[in-house]
A and B are shown apart, each in its own frame.
Chain A
C-alpha cells in the first residue's frame, strides 16, 4: 500500500499570503489529522477529520482551517500568513477514529514564510 502523501513538499510564501496544503491518506483510511512542527513549540495538533467532519481542533487561530473530501483526502489552509507559521506540516491518517488508532504520517510539507 502506498503511504500518506503530501503536496507540495516545500513551499515559500510571503507574509500576508495564503497557502493550501494537500494530504492523501493511505488507501482505506478514513481519518486524517494535521500537526504543526516547529523548533520552538514541537509537534502540535492542528485538527482531525473523519467522514468529512472536523472532529477535534487544536489551539490555533482561525487562520488555520481544513476540510476533508468524500474520498478522505484532506486539505488545510492558512490565511494571512505570518512569519511564525514557518514550520513542517505533517498529515497523518488512520483507518478510523479513536484513541486506539495508530496514525501513519506523511513526509510533511515544509513551509517557509518570508
Chain B
C-alpha cells in the first residue's frame, strides 16, 4: 500500500545550522510523483517542490536542496544555513498512478522544524 513516513516528529536547530528532513515512501507503482510542502503557523500548505519517479537528479533552489534516491525510496530535504523564518511543519507527499488519474496526495505525518535564533 502507498505510504509516506517522516520519522522525525520534531527537529530543533540553531540559526545557520544545516538540517535534513527525511522522507521514506512506499508505492506499488512505477510512475509516481513526490512533493514537499511547508506549513507555517498560519495553516496554509505552501508548495516547495515536485519530483517524478523517473527523474533522480538532485535539485537545489537557494538554501533548499532535495535528494531523491529510488534505491532507498527516499526523498530527503535539506535546508542550508537555516533561518528563523524556516520554522514550520514540513510535509512530504506522494501521488501515484495506481487506480487511474487522480490528484490524491498521500501525506506523511510531517516534521516540525524549530529554528532558534
Chain A contact residues, CB within 8 Å of chain B: 31, 33, 35, 42-45, 48, 50, 55-56, 58, 88, 90, 92, 94, 97-108, 110
Shortest CB distance A67–B (Å): 17
Quick check: B35 and A102 within 8 Å, CB to CB?
Answer: yes
Residues of A near B95 (CB, < 8 A) are 99-100
Chain B contact residues, CB within 8 Å of chain A: 31-33, 35, 37, 42-47, 50, 52, 91, 93, 95-97, 99, 101-110
Quick check: B44 and A98 within 8 Å, CB to CB?
Answer: no
Quick check: B102 and A48 within 8 Å, CB to CB?
Answer: yes
Q: A90-B43, A99-B102 are in contact. List 12 more A-B contacts (CB 8 A).
A: A42-B108, A44-B107, A48-B103, A56-B103, A56-B104, A92-B103, A97-B102, A99-B31, A99-B96, A102-B35, A104-B47, A110-B43
Q: Determine the main DSSP class of A at the interface with B.
A: strand
Residues of B near A55 (CB, < 8 A) are 101-103
Chain B residue with the shortest CB-CB distance to A107: B44
Shortest CB distance B102–A (Å): 5
Residues of B near A106 (CB, < 8 A) are 44
Residues of A near B91 (CB, < 8 A) are 43
Docked Cα-Cα span, A73 to B92, in Å, equals 27
